């Protein structure tokens, strides 16, 4: 199975390599700029199209999908949507969630008319129409997906979801303060025509003596962490079929499992930094330990549902509880028996190159699952159970839990317990496989002579997030003239460089991987790598050329794969678009949309230092394979499985080769750090 890791090749010289960003920047031409401006306008104050961008509102009102039916490549799907629309869709202003079948179906057909528009102009006109008549949540979800998948919107940058829907990213006291900005300036300070609201994380005003999970709120409620998960799931949306849309069917299930494994491992490293051990297991039959008190509200004022600590599954969730037990039993049996059963009763062996992909598909319950009726969706049912929200009275009056939102689900500590259960199937599958052979792991012609890492320092710094796009305004002038910003302390780290000395017997192309993992458990006991390798987090991977002899390499943390710096606020980026259109300046854009937040590359560590272990592995690459993602960019990788060589059971003697290096690294947490100063 090919490994879809995100990576960009670097060029290696005999003494050092020059750092290069993992993405490619391109100067936008006029066609791209005009498209970019139009797309951004579609996201601007969606809840008030008749007040903001009134010209677009009139244009959307005047457009007729039926009159332009020949402008779509799939008329049947367009007619199906029109039938749904005439019957009645989710009204504007109501809450939307992708995890409710009827609402998902409506949104899916809206996406299809966006996707099947023959050209950009038709797509844009259709979007203007939908911006006027379709529920805001459904419209935004379909629009995001369409921009990511349409050929004529490749690499169009998208605004961050926390800018236009802050309700899913900030506490209710922030939302209340933002809504009252015009009534009283006492709740904010004014800087550069912006209203600044200082924000804390959930429960900051409550005692935390017995709720240790709140120690991690700075990570789980980080808006970059939350947005990353949204984009991660958007890259291979579970409600899209690989037979109909450009979904990478060969590895979508495997990526689903591996991506969540990496997310869980990164979370575990943060737990260690706060003196917390591994996430505990749970049983559906007993009390669920972590409570969740989100202190958040939806845009209509309804509060997000809560889950008390140490509570049993409520009786109104039994319908899903019965189902998930059956689904879990069937998935476990498939892994143990070595085959799955499709809808026709045919057995498909899973201990094959594509086997883990099959398992991931049936667990997620995506549209490429081989037997969705039989295996269901453990993913969806688990979210419905642990959210503890009441059943909806009608299809259109729902109160989703945070777990039923791709924006906010990673805020809930229950998310990590549930996904540890899902990742356990990954481990269950991998543990049935034999360890890699010595010849598969060790390459005598590659010798890592040394690995040195600059001092690793983390800190909290303040960051402002613009959220005014998510609130009502009185006029276009108000929308353009004032900005509401939330100022919050967020985890960050000083940039560092990894120095590697590598000796190669021949000139060749190699893949260099770096994993960060635990050295000690929460009690200070040294961990055995044959067990702890399961919790190592892949922080970098790149393919490069080496010369025969000594190669001195320097890899900057700026260039680690899959990372993304903080996005510019939309109001700043939009001004750059306008200046570029006018010819005043040029605008460069990345050939990617998002990535893992660069700030969160390292766990917090401790003031006295927290020791972790760095695992460096080098292997030859005969034929690099190019991976392409509209969201995460284009990268080069080797033809290996995800997580190689530590994705299977470890036979320790075979991890003593010259192309393997273990390095203890210490992460220090500091106060009042200047991120631009050199650390000594």
Instruction: Break the chain into its structural domains and give their ranges.
Output: 44-157, 212-296+304-430
What are the backbone dihedrals phi and psi of residue 292, each rounded to the nearest 5 degrees, phi first?
Answer: -145, 120
pLDDT, one tens digit per residue, over 148-164 is: 999 999 999 999 999 99
Compute the mean pLDDT over every residue in the chain, rounded to the nearest whole number: 92
The pair of three-digit structure tokens given for residue 581, joined into one six-digit string: 């259109």
Q: What average pLDDT does this structure show over 503-508?
A: 97
pLDDT at 184 over 80: no
The percent of residues in the chain predicted with pLDDT above 70, rounded, is 93
pLDDT at 185 over 80: no
User: Which of 80-89, 191-200, 612-621 is the least confident region?
Assistant: 191-200
**Residue 392, pLDDT score:** 86
Beta strands in 433-573 (DSSP E): 446-453, 456-466, 483-493, 497-504, 508-518, 537-546, 549-556, 563-564
List Cα–Cα distances, 315 to 108, 222, 294, 380, 389, in angstroms. Answer: 31, 33, 22, 18, 12
What is the rounded distance in angstroms from the CA atom of residue 142 to the CA atom of residue 31?
A: 23
- Provide the pLDDT confidence category of residue 658 given band limits of 50, 70 and 90: very high
Pairing of strands 537-546, 508-518: antiparallel
pLDDT at 311 over 60: yes
* Superfamily grouping for domain 212-296+304-430: Di-copper center containing domain from catechol oxidase (1.10.1280.10)
Look at 201 and 163; give whichever has higher pLDDT: 163
pLDDT at 7 over 60: no
Q: What average pLDDT does this structure show over 476-485?
A: 88
What string of DSSP letters covers 252-279?
HHHHHHHHHHHHHHHHHHHHHHTT--SP
pLDDT at 191 over 60: no
CATH class of 44-157: mainly alpha
pLDDT at 54 over 60: yes
User: Which of 410-419, 522-531, 633-642 is the least confident region?
Assistant: 633-642
Look at 202 and 354; give whichever has higher pLDDT: 354
- Cα torsion angle, 159, 252, 281, 331, sign: positive
pLDDT at 525 over 80: yes
Q: What average pLDDT does this structure show over 22-44?
A: 90
**Residue 23, pLDDT score:** 53
Q: Report whether 649 contacts 590 (CB < 8 A).
A: no
Pairing of strands 194-198, 483-493: parallel
pLDDT, one tens digit per residue, over 437-453 is: 999 999 999 999 999 99
**Residue 602, pLDDT score:** 98
- Provide the pLDDT confidence category of residue 206 given band limits of 50, 70 and 90: low
pLDDT, one tens digit per residue, over 320-349 is: 999 999 999 999 999 999 999 999 999 999
**Residue 211, pLDDT score:** 76
For the stretch 518-533, what's the b/e string if a residue is b when 16 or more beta carbons lie within 10 angstroms of its beta carbon?
bbeeeeeeeeebeebb
pLDDT at 6 over 60: no
Look at 265 and 483; give whichever has higher pLDDT: 265
What is the rounded distance in angstroms from the CA atom of residue 166 to the CA atom of residue 303?
A: 14
Q: What average pLDDT does this structure show over 164-191?
A: 78
Q: Report whether 511 contacts 88 (CB < 8 A).
A: no
What is the rounded distance in angstroms from the CA atom of residue 653 to the CA atom of residue 631?
A: 40
Give CA torsion, residues 40, 46, 48, 53, to 10 deg.
Answer: 20
Q: What average pLDDT does this structure show over 58-68?
A: 97
């Amino acid at each position: 199975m090919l490994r879809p890791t995100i990576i960009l090749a670097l060029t290696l010289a005999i003494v050092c390599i020059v750092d290069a960003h993992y993405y490619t920047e391109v100067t936008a031409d006029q066609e791209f700029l005009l498209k970019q401006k139009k797309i951004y306008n579609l996201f601007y104050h969606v809840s008030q199209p008749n007040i903001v961008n009134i010209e677009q509102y009139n244009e959307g009102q005047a457009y007729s999908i039926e009159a332009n039916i020949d402008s779509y490549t799939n008329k049947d799907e367009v007619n199906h949507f029109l039938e749904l629309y005439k019957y009645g869709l989710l009204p504007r202003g109501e809450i939307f969630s992708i995890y409710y079948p009827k609402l998902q179906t409506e949104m899916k057909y809206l996406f299809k008319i966006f996707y099947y528009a023959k050209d950009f102009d038709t797509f844009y006109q259709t979007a203007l129409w939908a911006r006027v008549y379709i529920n805001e949540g459904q419209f935004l979800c379909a629009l995001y997906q369409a921009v990511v998948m349409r050929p004529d919107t490749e690499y169009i940058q998208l605004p961050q979801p926390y800018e236009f829907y802050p309700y899913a990213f900030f506490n209710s006291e922030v939302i209340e303060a933002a809504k009252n900005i015009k009534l009283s300036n006492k709740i904010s300070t004014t800087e550069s025509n912006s209203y600044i609201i200082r924000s804390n994380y959930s429960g900051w005003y409550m005692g935390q003596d017995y709720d240790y999970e709140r120690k991690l709120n700075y990570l789980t409620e980080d808006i970059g962490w939350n947005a990353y998960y949204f984009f991660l799931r958007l890259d291979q949306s579970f409600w899209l079929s690989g037979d109909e849309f450009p979904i990478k069917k060969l590895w979508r299930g495997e990526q689903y499992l591996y991506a969540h494994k990496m997310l869980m491992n990164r979370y575990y490293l943060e737990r260690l930094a706060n003196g917390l051990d591994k996430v505990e297991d749970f049983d559906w039959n007993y009390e669920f330990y972590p409570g969740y008190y989100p202190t958040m509200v939806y845009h209509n004022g309804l509060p997000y549902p809560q889950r008390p600590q140490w509570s049993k599954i409520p009786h109104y969730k039994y319908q899903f509880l019965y189902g998930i037990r059956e689904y879990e039993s069937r998935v476990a049996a498939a892994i143990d028996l070595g085959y799955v059963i499709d809808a026709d009763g045919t057995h498909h062996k899973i201990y094959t190159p594509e086997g883990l992909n099959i398992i991931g598909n049936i667990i997620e319950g995506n549209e490429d699952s081989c037997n969705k009726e039989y295996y269901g969706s453990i993913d969806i049912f688990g979210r419905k159970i642990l959210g503890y929200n009441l059943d909806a009275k009608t299809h259109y009056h729902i109160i989703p839990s945070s777990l039923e939102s791709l924006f906010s689900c990673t805020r809930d500590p229950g998310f990590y317990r549930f996904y540890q259960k899902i990742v356990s199937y990954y481990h269950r599958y991998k543990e049935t496989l034999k360890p890699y052979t010595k010849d598969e792991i060790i390459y005598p012609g590659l010798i890592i002579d040394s690995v040195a890492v600059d001092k690793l320092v983390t800190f909290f710094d303040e960051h402002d997030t613009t959220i005014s796009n998510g609130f009502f305004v009185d006029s276009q002038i108000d929308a353009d003239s004032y900005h509401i910003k939330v100022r919050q302390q967020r985890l960050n780290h000083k940039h560092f460089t990894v120095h590697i000395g590598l000796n190669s017997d021949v000139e060749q192309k190699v893949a260099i991987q770096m994993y960060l993992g635990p050295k000690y458990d929460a009690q200070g006991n040294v961990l055995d790598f044959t067990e702890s390798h399961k919790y190592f987090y892949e922080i970098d991977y790149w393919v490069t050329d080496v010369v025969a002899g000594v190669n001195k390499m320097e890899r900057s943390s700026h260039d680690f794969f899959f990372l993304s710096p903080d996005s510019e606020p939309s109001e700043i980026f939009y001004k750059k678009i306008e200046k570029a259109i006018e010819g005043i300046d040029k605008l460069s854009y990345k050939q990617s949309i998002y990535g893992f937040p660069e700030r969160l590359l390292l766990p917090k560590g401790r003031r006295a230092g927290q020791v972790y272990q760095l695992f460096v592995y080098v292997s030859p690459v005969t034929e690099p394979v190019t991976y392409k993602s509209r969201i995460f960019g284009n990268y080069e990788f080797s033809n290996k499985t995800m997580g190689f060589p530590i994705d299977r059971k470890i036979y320790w003697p075979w991890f003593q080769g010259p192309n393997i290096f273990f390095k203890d690294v210490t992460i220090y947490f500091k106060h009042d750090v200047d991120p631009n100063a050199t650390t000594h």
